Structure 1
Amino acid sequence: MTTDSKDGWHSGSGDPARTVELLWGLREPSRRGPKQRLTVPQIAEAAIALADGEGLAALSMRRVAERLGVTAMSLYTYVPSKAELVDVMLDTVLGELPRTEVAGGWRARLERVARDKWALYLRHPWLLQVSTSRPPMGPNLMARYEYELGAVEGTGLPDVAMDLVVTLVGDYVHGAARAAVAAVQIQQRSGMSDAQWWEGYAPLLAQVLDPEKYPVSSRVGTAAGEAFDAPNDPERAFEFGLARVLDGVEALISRS
């Protein structure tokens, strides 16, 4: 099942039949017994709020139940385990991604896809902690996949290449967002901005670094440090990298 062990969290590791029921709303509430107080979307929203505020490590059925004012045992009557809950959470937040028409060609559409995902990761950093190599096949995920493929539909790319391009952009954004989220989190934990940290560290580094021994790194590092006022700039790196990824896709399309 989904864990927070050294192997990380994994989607798609719960009971397949029950997960599909939860994601697609296939099981109707029982007509017998007391009226059900909760819905699966309500449970998902409570779990997402907990993960947003305290991280995925804080997520447990007991903590979610406390937020909803019910017992953990009663929560299991809706969602059988944390594995299925994480899948529902993932599909729920994917529903936040817009699927609007974008003026311009494939490049503008694919850029919009990337920027929307970037914003989603920054809004829900816990997403970066979940491996989705076996994604939850929920309605929002499928709708999003359809939308993203539409960005490169009509470009002349074969179907498999279309899938790989969408995966390429998604993987790039995932990596770039991980660096950006880590930078925010270290600032929060240390109470010190990157600029403040660099202001104290750079003069010390200058005392021990020999420019003659490291001529290229000294020159480039100095230029980057002055430009970023920090050791790095995740947002600037994202913009630079996204443009290069799209340049590569353009070259691929031109050869199709």
Structure 2
Amino acid sequence: MPPARSLQRGDIVDAAIAILESEGVAGLSMRRLAARLDSKPMTLYPYVGNKSTLLSLALSEVAARIDWTTPTGPPRERMVTIGMDMFVRLGEIPWIVSILQQGTNIGTPALGLADRFFDAAHEAGLDDRQAFETWRGVWYLIVSELQYRGAVAARGPDEQSWFETIDPADVADLPHVTRILPHWPDLSGGFDVRRTVENQVDGAIARAARD
């Protein structure tokens, strides 16, 4: 019997990334990964524990390979740049939405981005609590928008958005919704992530100045 193949965590993570890129999250399993590594599923668990851990490691590794934009300029612009860079770069990873939906984080690369964001926020006059709350708001905005866009892209040709299924008579007692509802598709399609990030950052800076 040939000796068992010696495994390294890095090799396991690289193989998992290759499967994710070719088959998506649904195609990744410990059995599929072991087969790719010419090994057995049980030999992987001491290195990665479970699939959730494996996904976190894979995403963290991919995020670490990204050549993140180095923000320059005034603190407000640096905060916006960091937020938009996350949105664009993470949006380029085709399997990221499925992982984010499972609550998987992107590991220490995100902490590096957070540190840059905090540095700019402190320079803009925010204290630690204000900087953290602003960072968290920007992060969740980006994650939710990536999830929404992924869900839209995955819809079948006959599937409708929730706002297309509403009977106007059911919201007749909601005057503002009634007025906006016919325009909801255009407003949704024209949602500007940068403007929303800027609004969050500007609001935080303005409030810090008042406090």
Q: For this structure pair, what is the TM-score category when the shorter chain's length is used for normalisation?
A: 0.7 to 0.9
C-alpha separation in 2, matches of 1:181 and 1:70: 33
Tell me: CA distance 1:66–1:151, structure 2 relative to 1, closer, same or farther (3 Å).
farther
Give yes or no for contact 1:99–1:147 (8 Å, CA) kept in 2.
Answer: no
CA, structure 1 residues 224+35, in 2 after alignment: closer, same or farther (shift >3 Å)?
Answer: closer
Other-structure match for 1:222: 182
Change in 2 beyond 3 A, CA 1:47/1:131: same
| Paired residues of 2:80 and 2:194 also in contact (CA < 8 A) | no
2:133 aligned with 1:164: yes
Contact 1:46–1:68 (CA under 8 A) maintained in structure 2: yes
1:185 aligns with 2:154: yes
Aligned-partner residue type, residue 210 of structure 2? R
Identity of paired residues, percent?
23
Q: Deviations over 1:220-241 (max 9, x none)?
A: 233344x46xxx32x6253443
Matches within 5 A, 1:1-256: 36=6, 38-76=7-45, 78-122=47-91, 123=93, 124-131=96-103, 139-186=108-155, 190=156, 192=157, 209=168, 213=172, 216-225=176-185, 227=186, 232-233=188-189, 236-256=191-211
Quote how far apart the aligned CAs of 1:61 are.
1.1
CA deviation string 1:47-100 (max 9, x = no partner): 234345544344321112223343323334543433432331232133144444
Q: Distance in 1 between matches of 2:120 and 2:14?
A: 29
Structure 1 spans left out of the alignment, 5+ residues: 1-32
Figure out how many residues of one structure are paired with residues of the other and give that number: 204
1:46 Cα deviation from its structure 2 partner: 2.5
* Unpaired stretches in structure 2, ≥5 consecutive residues: none
Aligned to 1:25: none
d(CA) in 2 for partners of 1:217, 1:168: 25
The answer to whether the 8 A contact 1:97-1:117 is kept is: no
SS at match of 1:95: helix
1:153–1:52 CA distance, 2 compared to 1 (3 A): farther
TM-score, length-scaled by structure 2 = 0.73
| CA–CA distance in structure 1, aligned partners of residues 14 and 125 of structure 2 | 40
TM-score, length basis structure 1:
0.63
RMSD: 3.6
- Name the aligned partner's letter for residue 131 of structure 1: G
Question: Which amino acid counterpart does residue 41 of structure 1 have in structure 2?
Answer: G
Residue-by-residue CA offset, 1:169-213 (whole Å, 9 max, x unaligned): 112212222211111111xxx1x398xx69xx97x98xx756xx4
SS in 2 for 1:102: coil
Change in CA separation of 1:216 and 1:168 when aligned onto 2, cut-off 3 Å:
closer
